[in-house]
């Protein structure tokens, strides 16, 4: 039996997903073909909604909501990472589930993204490499990893 990976979500992301699910379920209950060009379009739209409902239900079922990971400097979901790329450019982002929202101006990278997967488990100061879509390889160094919610403390 395969184990399901737990997904770290902020409370905000969890709330947004619950609202989207409620809206999709309400629309499904209505069953109206309003605004559709024909029966085929309505059926396709209904199929997309059913798929999204299943996707959100699965996300919520496997969610770890707002639980801070240990403040041990290890890159894992729920951590705000500051990295330095091989061109000396730095970036700070949240490693977690993308929900389309802007969290305190932070970009969110999924642990399944190339950058997120490369950094998962890294410790501060550790260098990792990952492949980019054009086939190249990028080197990145983890400079800082702190739990979301504590990331503003002590930052310039």
Q: Residue 101 — very low, low, confident or very high, per pLDDT cuts 50/70/90?
A: low
Give the CATH fold of the 79-147 domain. Answer: Chitinase A; domain 3 (3.10.50)
Ranges 4-13, 61-70, 89-98, 122-131: which has the least confidence:
4-13
Residue-wise DSSP of 3-63: PPPPEEE-HHHHHHHHHHHHHHHHHHHH---TT-SSHHHHHHHHHHHHHHHHHHHHHHHTE
The pLDDT of residue 155: 44
Is the domain defined by 7-65 classed in CATH 1.10.3210? no
Interval 15-25 mean pLDDT? 91
Q: What's the whole-number mean pLDDT along residues 125-138?
A: 94
What is the pLDDT confidence band of residue 156, given thresholds at 50, 70 and 90? very low
**Residue boundaries of the structural domains of the chain:** 7-65, 79-147
Higher pLDDT, 116 or 14: 116
């Amino acid at each position: 039996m395969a184990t399901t990976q737990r997904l770290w979500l902020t409370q905000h992301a969890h709330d947004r997903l619950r609202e989207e699910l409620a809206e999709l379920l309400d629309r499904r209950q209505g069953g109206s073909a309003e605004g559709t060009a024909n029966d085929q379009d309505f059926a396709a739209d209904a199929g997309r909604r059913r798929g999204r409902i299943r996707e959100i239900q699965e996300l919520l079922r496997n969610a770890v909501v707002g639980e801070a990971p240990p403040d041990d400097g290890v890159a894992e979901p729920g951590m705000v990472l500051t990295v330095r790329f091989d061109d000396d450019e730095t970036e700070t982002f949240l490693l977690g589930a993308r929900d389309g929202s802007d969290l305190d101006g932070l970009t969110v990278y999924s642990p399944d993204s190339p950058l997120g997967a490369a950094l998962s488990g890294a410790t501060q100061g550790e260098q990792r490499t990952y492949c980019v879509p054009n086939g190249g390889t990028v080197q990145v160094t983890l400079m800082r990893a702190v739990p979301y919610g504590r990331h503003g403390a002590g930052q310039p």
